[in-house]
Chains A and B, each alone.
Chain A
Amino acid sequence: MNARFLRRGALFGALALVAFGLAIVAAACNGDDDDDTGTTPIPVATVGKLTILDPWVRTTTNDVTAAYFTVKNSGPADTLVSVKTSISPMAQIHEMVTSGATSSMQEMPNGLDVPANGEVTLKPGGYHVMVMNVKSALKEGDSVDLELTFKNAGTVKLTAHVQKGEAMSGMDMGK
């Protein structure tokens, strides 16, 4: 009992480190685009002052997957309120929240804010569109239609490619 308690204490200690580590990671990933190494994502769609970049959907192993993309905004603040796709009747905007030692996904019922003259990125371990009850298997090279609706800018349709994981091209592997 006591040992178990101590071990949990250890992991919470670890999580404090983890929270700090993530803050560093977040800072590193949200730096100026000019500092990014690798290729520049290709814009695939625009609506109003919003540009959608680099959309992708993960290959499926069951009836659940996730969609990711970046929204760049050169205008006033907006909100992504819903996402639709023909591959599923159920797509929800989620965020991952880490509390203590546990991470939970939570639906964002009020949508995802896109800051004025800024951008928001959906990526593994953060914001994502959870797609449930996927009708047929998705494999690498497939494409998926997405329909994003923003509160102010309206609706935009685009095509996302299917891949196994986050593209490595934007990361400098170094060694």
Chain B
Amino acid sequence: MKFTVRGAVPIALLGLVAVAVVAGAIALGMAVFGGSDDGGKAEYMGAVTSRPVEMPDATLTDQDGKPFNLKQESEGYVTLLYVGYTHCPDICPTHLYNISESLKKLPKDVSSKVKVVFVTADPERDTPEVLKDYLKTFDPNFIGLTGTREQTDTFQEDLGVSVATRTDLGGGNYAVNHAAYVIAFTKDEVAYTVYPAGMGIPEWLNDLPLLVKKGFKPA
């Protein structure tokens, strides 16, 4: 049933996207081009959130099967958080690849201060072992978190993103519909910028040194 409804969605969505683009144009005009006393927002290439996002106080299971408290482990670091799944064909590997390539290009005093945390929205398939094998192909330092379905769903709610849903692709395959942007928490464990699909290496090379060295000072 859900499948047939989905098929009818795109045209309606186009309208919504058009509205969002216009709304975005107005909001962006205020947020980014709002003058020189904006606390330096304009230096960032990432999308500035209209309100800061707080890091959830959550303990999940890492790629080694050990408990991982996000807030404790993030202390003193910039944490790039992404909710995805390892069977994702397109956007997840693109973000992870772009981040790993950027970290390789950046000086050590920046890259050593960045943690990358990939939280699965597909805990049934993404066990710690699966996450470990997946992430090490990008960067062995990337952290993968999983848990029970309830834990990963609650985590997404606490993060303020829509909880992921599934689309059947046939033949036992399914896609996971999930938040498709990387959320960048500065050392104060609050995120002021997000990085959607379409943003990649140029944005990271510009923003990561700022996120590490300057943080983000709201106006």
Decide if A and B are genuine partners: yes
Residues of A at the B interface (CB closer than 8 Å) are 4, 6-11, 13-23, 25-26, 58-59, 61-66, 89-90, 92, 94-107, 109, 124-126, 128, 130-133, 164-166, 168, 171, 173-175
Decide: B17 and A13 in contact? CB cutoff 8 A: no
Residue of A nearest to B125 (CB): A62
Residues of B at the A interface (CB closer than 8 Å) are 6-7, 9-10, 13, 16-17, 20-21, 23-25, 27-28, 31, 47-54, 86-91, 93-94, 97-98, 101, 130, 133-134, 137, 157-162, 164-165, 167, 169-171, 173, 175, 177-181, 194, 196-202, 205-206
Using Cβ atoms and an 8 Å threshold, which residues of chain B touch A100?
162
Q: When A and B form their complex, which 5 residue pairs have the shortest distance between CB atoms, in order from nearest?
A: A20-B24, A13-B50, A10-B51, A125-B197, A103-B180
Q: Which of A26, A97, A124 is close to B90, meaning CB atoms less than 8 Å apart?
A: A124
Residue of B nearest to A95 (CB): B10
Q: A99-B13, A101-B161 are in contact. Are A61 and B169 (CB under 8 A)?
A: no
Decide: A105 and B179 in contact? CB cutoff 8 A: no
What's the minimum C-beta distance from A132 to chain B, rounded to whole angstroms? 5
Using Cβ atoms and an 8 Å threshold, which residues of chain B touch A126?
197
Provide the bound-state CA to CA distance between A6 and B197, in Å. Answer: 24
Provide the bound-state CA to CA distance between A126 and B94, in Å. Answer: 11
Provide the bound-state CA to CA distance between A13 and B7, in Å. Answer: 26
Decide: A23 and B202 in contact? CB cutoff 8 A: no
What's the minimum C-beta distance from B142 to chain A, rounded to whole angstroms? 12
Provide the bound-state CA to CA distance between A61 and B16, in Å. Answer: 35
Decide: A101 and B162 in contact? CB cutoff 8 A: yes
Decide: B24 and A17 in contact? CB cutoff 8 A: yes
Q: Which of A22, A98, A101, A107 is close to B169, meaning CB atoms less than 8 Å apart?
A: A107
Decide: A4 and B157 in contact? CB cutoff 8 A: yes
Provide the bound-state CA to CA distance between A61 and B181, in Å. Answer: 21
